[in-house]
Amino acid sequence: MSQIIRRLGVAPCYRGSAGGATCPDLFELADGNFAVIGTDATDSLESQLPEDAARADYERIVVITRETLIKAKADIPDA
């Protein structure tokens, strides 16, 4: 398994997290992939996937807030 090398965007405490740390988050991994902390919405969204999208048994559909992604935008590499 890869290691987290950096957060994309700002820490949850700077986005209004009441607990200071438990909120959606995005991380870049050493292997170039990304890790997401979000709300598991697989059960409610899987039936709405387009015909050309599918999920493996080991995958989950995760929802993050719009603010989380917007705050991370500047940190997401173009290539």
Is 42 in a helix, a strand, or coil?
helix
Give the pLDDT band of residue 78 (cuts 50, 70, 90): confident
pTM for the structure as a whole: 0.80
In 3D space, the residue among 34, 37, 35, 38 whose CA is nearest the CA of residue 63 turns out to be: 38
Is 65 in a helix, a strand, or coil?
coil
More reliable by pLDDT, 48 or 22: 48
Say what the pLDDT of residue 37 is: 92
Chain-wide mean pLDDT for the chain? Answer: 90
Instruction: Please compute the mean of the pLDDT values over residues 48-76 and round it to a whole number.
Output: 94
Say what the pLDDT of residue 14 is: 78
Say what the pLDDT of residue 18 is: 65
pLDDT in tens, 16-34: 766 656 688 999 999 999 9
